[in-house]
Structures are given as structure tokens and as C-alpha cells.
């Protein structure tokens, strides 16, 4: 997804390798292919699955939980509830994905022969307690399920049956909060237990312990945490929640989440927690994490950027939406269709607005600090438009009704129309642009500006408002997600001819 540039010193790559709200990465290798899964919270479909041949360039190929029978997100699913922290593994010719639905089914497991799908119906795991489940198989074929805390239970992954009591394995550094995101691996002579600790905010870090058996006992690495950016001014913060994988040449790499705060103090991140890549070297039987920077040396194997650049425009000339489109809690076909008006996406309101859990919404993640989003909307039969969403309490929108375009802002309990203007006749192009603030001349400077408006028939952008982006940051809204740009309908039926997402320089 990121462009690789060649510098004078040689090839470089950009981090995050998967920009935007793709948190809690779990990665596995199958032959020459790599697959990666992320958390998805209140969004449907759930658990994005991405593919790569080089660990650097990733393409979303599907979602593991893309049928209502696999993913139950009841209407009272809070934003940042729902789906947390999967583990993805390739074992015995199959892909295994274990994950927690904190709002309905608890821990569950799905399998697939092709990670693009279809994935199986879920096997529920009522005997597995705790979030962030991991699965690992030992040489005798036992499957060990380790969860946040950090505890472990033996599991039959075919039936979901558990055996014995959950055993406490390790709590990370004494006094550190939130030992979580465990992953267990057999590497060389040892079993390694990798965890995150310190919480998923600025104190986040990665620690490791090793033992001679998957059940422990585990000896912590003397150099723990093996990765943290806490207390630094590194541009990538909150680094943690990692997984290990071997590159095509046998070298070791770590995928992990990080955020890019902007503005003054305390810093606000708006793209959510993003997936980064870092090299790992083994010294005396312990992993040592190398350079993790926004621009860093490329791995030594041939990079494989996508043959064609990702499409900027989705024209909705399809029957199925591309896998990067996400909705809230569910997506009933009768409310979201490309068949009603062929070549257009039709959204039918369910009586809910952006302030509600059940708004009819189809969006994609903001993946670049600076970008332009445009959509051509026909709102003759309803009311709807283009939103920048953090959650139902934090969103900006530019909305069309017959004859009017209106910009609105919801920030916590405050909900206000910021500007309103007669719109050109007929379908109208709505536009949102984000621009990071480059110069912080006041400690209170926000991270970016979000401009919202419409286009005159000649393409001129009429910005009705330019709003401080901090109010659509995770630090303000709370929770675990990032910004999503979405089309929505709040009354009647609203038709969208196309949607453009364009990264901008800077
Ligand atoms: C996830 C936990 C975490 O379950 O945040 O960063 C939680 N780590 O491991 C939600 O993503």
C-alpha cells in the first residue's frame, strides 16, 4: 500500500507499512505468501485480512468475518467494542484465526483454506477466558490457547473443547499494566512468549520470556522491554502489540502497532493504530529489535509493489463492495445496494443519524495524514452525505438535501450546524480534505485541519468549514479506532455515483 522509494543509499521503505486504522496485527507465512489480520471493533465486515509477498506492500484481500452468522454485533455494541485482537496462523494446511467478540460471542475460532475466504462458521470457545487469544501447536499436536493476563489453557481447535484449568504463565514486568497480546512460538531450542505491556497508549511496549516447554516456566528477557517508544519523541508512538515472522531469506521481522501523533501537547493521533514493520536479530537466544522509522532501509529481498497502483476511484460498477468498505455493526443488503441504481451505491436510511449506532454508513479508513475525499451524491430522495467518523459522538459531516449543503460537527455533547449554503442543482460533489499542521507555534496546536464543502459545477472547491482535527482523534474520543470516511444516509434513499480517495503530498 505504501510507495517504495529508492534513495542514494539504496532502497528504503515507509512505516507504517499498513497505514490507517489496522491495529493489533497478527501475521503468518505460508510458502512465499504472508497474511495479516487486524482488529475491527464495531465495524462490519470484521477482521480485515491482508496479503503480501514482501512484508512491505500489503493488499486487503478480504475480511474473515463477513457474514452475519459469523459476526454478531448487537445494536448495543459500543464503538470500540466488538472485535478485538485476532491471532492468524497457518497450520496443517489450513489457516486458523482466533479472536474475541467482546460484545456478543466471546472467543471464537474460524478456519479457511484460502485466507481471502470463505472462512468457516465460528467455533465458539466458552472455555477460553480473556481477550487477545493466541493459538500454538506443540510437537505432540497439543493446541495451546494463551490469552491476556497472561494465562493458558489446552484447546481442541476442531471442537472448541478446553481441557483442565487456565494456568497463569507470566505477568510481564512487575507493576506494568495490561500484560496482553500474547503470542507463543517454538523457535530453535526454546518456546518464546511475546507480550505487550504498559497499555496501548504512550506507555506501550513489547516484552518476551522463554522456556523449554509451551506451558512454561518462562524466564523473562533481561533486556525487556525489547521494544518501546515510551518517553521518547519518536514520530511513531504507542509501539506494541507485536507478532513475529520470518522473511523470505530466513531473517526475522516484527509487525506491531504504532501511532503518529501530531500537533502540540499531548499530541493527537487521528489515523488510529497502524501496522508497522521492524527487523529483528537474535543475540544469545533473545530477539533484538532493529530500526523502526518512518523511512528505513528496505529488507534485502526483492520488493513486490502492486503491479497496478490502487484505484483512486470506486465507481460502484460492481455487485459486491470491495473488502475495504466497512459499515456499522451490520450491512443489510436492502439498505446498501449497487443494484437499485446500477453504477451507483444506494443507501437507504433506517431512521438513524450519525449520532446513532444504526446509521446506514459505508466507509473506508483514512490512511494518509493528507488526503482528499470526494463523492458525487444524489440526495433528491433523502438526506445524506460524506462523514469523517471517529465514533457516534465524534464526527464531522457535509450533508446534501435537495437544494442545500450543510456542514455539521458533533464533538461529545455538542452537536452543531457549522455552515449551510444553497447547492448547485442536481447531484453534487461533496469534498473533504485533511491537512496536517506543519508548524507547531503554540503547544496547543491541533494535529490537522479538516475542510468540508462541495464543488461548483466547474470543480471549484467551496470549503464551508475548516475544523480542528483534534476532536476526531483517539486522544479526544477515546477507544481503539481511527478515522473512517463514509457515505451515509440519514433520511430516505441517497445515491452515490462514485467515491474518490486521493492521498496528497505532505
Ligand atoms: C487489544 C489489546 C490492545 O485487545 O488493545 O494494543 C486492545 N493492544 O491487546 C484493543 O485493540
pLDDT category, 5, cuts 50, 70, 90?
very low
Look up cell 450491512; give the residue. Answer: 331
Is the CB of 39 inside a 6 Å radius of any atom of ligand 1? yes
Give the residue, out of 79, 98, 181, with the most ligand 1 atoms within 8 A of its beta carbon, to mutate for a pocket test: 181
pTM above 0.75, yes or no: yes
What pLDDT, on the 0 to 100 scale, is given for residue 308? 76
Q: Which stretches of 83-201 are assigned E, i.e. beta strand? A: 83-91, 94-101, 106-112, 123-124, 134-137, 143-147, 151-155, 162-168, 180-187, 190-197
Of 4, 110, 124, the closest CA to residue 56 belongs to: 4
Q: Tell me the CA–centroid distance for residue 83 and ligand 1, in Å.
A: 10
pLDDT in tens, 270-300: 999 999 999 999 999 999 999 999 999 999 9
* Cβ(24)–Cβ(38) below 8 Å: yes
pLDDT above 60: residue 4: no
Distance CA 373, CA 357 (A): 23
Determine if the peptide bond prior to 207 is cis (ω within 30°): no
What pLDDT, on the 0 to 100 scale, is given for residue 9? 45
Active site residue 24: yes
Distance CA 20, CA 363 (A): 13
Q: Tell me the CA–centroid distance for residue 24 and ligand 1, in Å.
A: 6
Q: Tell me the CA–centroid distance for residue 206 and ligand 1, in Å.
A: 13
Percent of residues in the chain assigned helix, strand, coil, to nearest 5: 0, 50, 50
Per CATH, which fold does 12-297 belong to? Tachylectin-2; Chain A (2.115.10)
Which atom of ligand 1 approaches the CA of 23 most closely? 11
Q: Which stretches of 223-359 are assigned E, i.e. beta strand? A: 227-228, 237-246, 252-259, 274-283, 286-289, 295-297, 313-314, 327-328, 336-337, 345-348
- DSSP codes joined into one string, 26-85: EEEEETTEEEEE---BTEESEEEEEEESSSSS-EEEEEEE-STTT----TTPPTT-SEEE
CATH code linked to domain 313-503: 2.60.120.200
Of 417, 410, 419, the closest CA to residue 477 belongs to: 410
Residue 45's contacts (CB-CB under 8 Å, 6 or more residues apart) are 63, 65, 66, 71, 323, 326, 331
* Cβ(115)–Cβ(132) below 8 Å: no
Outline where 190-258 has alpha helix (H). Answer: none
Which atom of ligand 1 approaches the CA of 132 most closely? 4
Is the CB of 85 inside a 6 Å radius of any atom of ligand 1? yes
Percent of the chain topping pLDDT 90:
94
- DSSP codes joined into one string, 288-305: EE----SEEEPPSSPP--
Q: What is the arithmetic mean of pLDDT over 240-249?
A: 98
For residue 281 the three cell numbers come to 536479530
Q: Where are the domains of the chain?
A: 12-297, 313-503
Q: Tell me the CA–centroid distance for residue 84 and ligand 1, in Å.
A: 7
* Cβ(151)–Cβ(172) below 8 Å: no
What single DSSP character describes residue 262? B
Determine if the peptide bond prior to 292 is cis (ω within 30°): no
What pLDDT, on the 0 to 100 scale, is given for residue 446? 97
> Could you check whether 12-297 and 313-503 share the same CATH topology?
no
Is the CB of 112 inside a 6 Å radius of any atom of ligand 1? no
pLDDT above 70: residue 1: no
pLDDT in tens, 300-356: 999 988 877 777 999 999 989 999 999 999 999 999 999 999 999 999 999 999 999
Q: What is the arithmetic mean of pLDDT over 400-406?
A: 90
Distance CA 46, CA 26 (A): 14
Is the CB of 96 inside a 6 Å radius of any atom of ligand 1? no
CB atoms within 10 A of CB 69: 8
Which one of the listed residues 66, 132, 180, 399 is annotated catalytic? 180
Distance CA 432, CA 484 (A): 12
Is the CB of 23 inside a 6 Å radius of any atom of ligand 1? yes
Active site residue 448: no
pLDDT in tens, 354-400: 999 999 999 999 999 999 999 999 999 999 999 999 999 999 999 99
Distance CA 157, CA 434 (A): 45
What pLDDT, on the 0 to 100 scale, is given for residue 402? 76
Cα 389 → chain centroid: 14
Is the CB of 240 inside a 6 Å radius of any atom of ligand 1? yes
Q: Tell me the CA–centroid distance for residue 106 and ligand 1, in Å.
A: 15
Distance CA 368, CA 362 (A): 19
pLDDT in tens, 194-207: 999 999 999 999 99
- Report helix, strand or coil for 196: strand
Distance CA 110, CA 98 (A): 7
Is the CB of 196 inside a 6 Å radius of any atom of ligand 1? yes
Amino acid at each position: 500500500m505504501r510507495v517504495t522509494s529508492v534513495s542514494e543509499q539504496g532502497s528504503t521503505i515507509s512505516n507504517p507499512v499498513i497505514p490507517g486504522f489496522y491495529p493489533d496485527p497478527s501475521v503468518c507465512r505460508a510458502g512465499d505468501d504472508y497474511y495479516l489480520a487486524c482488529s475491527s471493533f464495531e465495524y462490519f465486515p470484521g477482521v480485515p485480512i491482508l496479503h503480501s509477498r514482501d512484508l512491505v506492500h500489503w493488499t486487503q484481500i478480504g475480511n474473515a468475518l463477513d457474514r452475519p452468522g459469523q459476526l454478531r454485533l448487537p445494536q448495543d455494541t459500543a464503538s470500540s467494542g466488538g472485535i478485538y485482537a485476532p491471532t492468524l496462523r497457518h497450520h496443517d494446511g489450513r489457516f486458523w484465526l482466533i479472536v474475541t467478540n467482546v460484545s456478543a460471542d466471546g472467543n471464537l475460532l474460524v478456519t479457511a483454506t484460502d485466507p481471502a475466504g470463505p472462512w468457516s462458521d465460528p467455533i465458539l470457545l466458552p472455555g477460553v477466558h480473556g481477550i487477545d487469544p493466541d493459538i500454538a501447536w506443540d510437537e505432540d499436536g497439543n493446541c495451546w490457547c494463551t490469552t491476556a493476563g497472561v494465562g493458558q489453557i489446552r484447546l481442541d481447535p476442531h471442537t472448541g473443547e478446553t481441557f483442565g484449568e487456565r494456568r497463569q504463565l507470566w505477568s510481564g514486568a512487575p507493576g506494568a499494566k495490561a500484560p496482553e497480546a500474547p503470542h507463543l512460538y517454538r523457535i530453535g531450542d526454546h518456546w518464546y512468549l511475546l507480550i505487550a505491556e504498559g497499555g496501548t497508549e504512550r506507555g506501550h511496549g513489547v516484552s518476551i520470556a522463554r522456556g523449554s516447554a509451551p506451558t512454561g516456566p518462562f524466564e523473562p528477557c533481561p533486556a525487556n522491554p525489547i521494544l518501546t517508544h515510551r518517553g521518547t519523541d519518536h514520530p511513531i508512538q504507542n509501539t506494541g502489540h507485536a507478532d513475529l515472522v520470518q522473511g523470505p531469506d530466513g531473517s526475522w521481522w516484527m509487525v506491531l502497532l504504532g501511532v503518529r501523533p501530531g500537533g502540540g501537547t499531548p499530541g493527537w493521533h487521528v489515523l488510529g493504530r497502524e501496522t508497522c514493520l521492524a527487523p529483528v536479530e537474535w543475540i544469545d537466544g533473545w530477539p533484538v529489535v532493529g530500526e523502526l522509522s518512518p523511512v528505513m532501509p528496505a529488507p534485502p529481498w526483492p520488493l513486490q509493489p502492486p503491479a497496478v497502483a490502487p484505484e483512486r476511484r470506486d465507481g460502484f460498477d460492481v455487485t459486491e463492495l470491495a473488502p475495504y468498505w466497512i459499515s456499522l455493526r451490520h450491512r443489510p443488503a436492502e439498505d446498501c445496494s449497487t443494484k437499485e441504481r446500477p453504477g451507483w451505491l444506494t443507501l437507504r436510511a433506517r431512521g438513524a443519524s450519525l449520532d446513532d449506532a444504526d446509521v446506514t454508513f459505508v466507509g473506508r479508513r483514512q490512511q494518509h495524514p493528507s488526503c482528499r475525499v470526494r463523492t458525487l451524491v444524489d440526495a433528491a430522495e433523502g438526506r445524506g452525505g460524506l462523514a469523517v467518523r471517529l465514533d457516534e459522538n465524534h464526527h464531522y459531516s457535509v450533508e446534501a438535501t435537495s437544494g442545500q449543503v450543510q456542514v455539521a460537527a458533533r464533538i461529545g455533547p455538542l452537536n452543531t450546524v457549522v455552515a449551510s449554503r444553497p447547492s448547485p442543482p442536481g447531484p453534487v460533489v461533496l469534498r473533504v480534505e485533511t491537512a496536517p499542521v506543519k508548524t507547531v507555534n503554540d503547544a496547543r496546536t491541533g494535529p490537522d485541519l479538516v475542510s468540508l464543502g462541495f464543488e461548483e459545477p466547474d470543480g471549484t472547491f467551496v470549503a464551508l468549514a475548516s475544523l480542528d482535527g483534534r476532536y476526531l482523534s483517539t486522544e479526544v474520543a477515546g477507544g481503539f479506532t481511527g478515522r473512517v470516511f463514509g457515505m451515509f444516509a440519514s433520511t430516505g434513499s441517497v445515491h452515490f455515483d462514485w467515491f474518490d480517495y486521493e492521498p496528497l503530498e505532505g
